[in-house]
Structure formats: structure tokens, C-alpha cells
Chains A and B, each alone.
Chain A
Amino acid sequence: MKPMIVITDLDEGTEDIVREMTDEEYAEYEYSIANMPPPPVIEP
């Protein structure tokens, strides 16, 4: 099962759409997650 996405389009004026990502959206999502820079290293 692919990750879920919630879409609100104010121009369309429709209710929120909740669905699984499409193959294209999932590929972009995976790419974005994989290429996210590391967070700051904060030593306690």
C-alpha cells in the first residue's frame, strides 16, 4: 500500500480528497524523502 495523501484544492472548492498516492506521486515522494538533507546535529 502506498502512502496516503490529502488534497484540498481551493480553486475547485471541493471536499478534501484522501487517497493513496499515484505511482508518479509515490516516485516523487520517495525521491524527496531519500534526498532530504540531514537535520542539524544538536548535542545534549
Chain B
Amino acid sequence: MATPPDFSSGAVLTAAQMNSVGLWKVGSTTITSATTAVLDGCFSSDYRDYLLTVDVTGGTANTELAMQFRVGGVAAATNYNYGQFGANPAGVSSNSAPGASVASASLTFIPATQQNSCNYFIGQPNLAVFTSFSGDWYYDDGGAQIMRRTIGRHKTATAYTGVQVFTGAAWTGKITVYGYRS
């Protein structure tokens, strides 16, 4: 038996088939020469865990890219706890920069002239429990090839309904949120 959903051309899809779809696009925001991309209403009781993809097609200056969770149209600006690991495959060296109860979760660095994409797992944002997040990014920093990973948790037990991704300088790209059916 094929792993469901097993769609065929012209078939009428049943609720059971559609409910077996494991990853579903919830929504996206396209950003053009702005600093902050907001997607409200993307977290709900429909899904427990989510995937956030961030696509950068252009920047205006070297800057960090960070994330905050939202509820009621307001961003939560405290209690982000996380660590980051970076590695340069040419130099084989790495370090980490922990953030303890800070205002946002810094995800990565965006060099001004580059295009990059990444994905982040977001665990249980719409439950009134701590929200976990982790993800990876790769970029070119002045010729050095950098791999970077963020792992953390937002230690506020709030049911969030949205997310925003922001930088210190205007950027162009898209953020998209998908829900994992559990």
C-alpha cells in the first residue's frame, strides 16, 4: 500500500485523505525593502508544531536576523533563551553566543549582498507552554563560509498566534509557515 495520501488524477479527495496530509502551508508574507515581516494568525490549535522558512533575496547592509512570537498583534520582547553554534569549514573553528532571557531570538546573520534560505522548527507555539525553536543557516562572511545553528526556547507559557522576523536593515524576501499534523 502506498503511503497516504495517495492522490490520483481526477479523484475526489475525502476528508480522511486530506486529514492525513502531514505538512500543510498555513500562510506567508512577502517583504520588500522593509525591516520586519509579520505573519499573524499562523499558529492555532489546528497544528501543534510548525516549520518556518525564511528566504532572503536581498539586503541593504550587514545585519542580524531575529524572530519574535506574537499574540494580540503585539510581539513578545522578553524571555528568549537560546544558544548558537557557528563553524567555518575552512578554518575548522566554532564558538557559541548564548542569549539568556533576551528580547528576541537572533537566528542568523544576513550579509548585505547575499541570498539565502533556511528553515526553523517551532514547537508548540499555540499551547500555553514554553515554545521551542531550532534551525540552521549558511552564509558567506567576507569570503569565509559560515555554518550557523540556533537552538533555544521561549520561556513564557503563552499561546502565541503569530510570528515576526526582523533585521536591523531593510531586506527583501519571504517568510512562510507550515503546520505539522501530529
Chain A interface (Cβ within 8 Å of chain B)?
Answer: 3-12, 16, 18, 21, 28-29, 31-33, 35-44
Q: Is B93 an interface residue (CB 8 A)?
A: yes
> Would you call A37 and B94 a contact (CB within 8 A)?
no
How far, in whole Å, are A21 and B93 apart by their CA atoms in the complex? 39
CB distance from A13 to the nearest CB of B (A): 9
Contacts of A31 in B (CB 8 A): 77, 103
Q: Is B159 an interface residue (CB 8 A)?
A: no
Choose one: B41, B77, B91, B96; the contact of A32 (CB below 8 Å): B77
Q: Is B126 an interface residue (CB 8 A)?
A: no
Q: Number of contact residues on B: which range applies?
A: 35 or more
Classify the secondary structure of A's interface with B. loop
> Would you call B30 and A39 a contact (CB within 8 A)?
no
A16-B29 contact in complex given A11-B41, A33-B168, A41-B97, C-beta closer than 8 Å: yes
Q: Is B58 an interface residue (CB 8 A)?
A: no
> Would you call A10 and B38 a contact (CB within 8 A)?
no
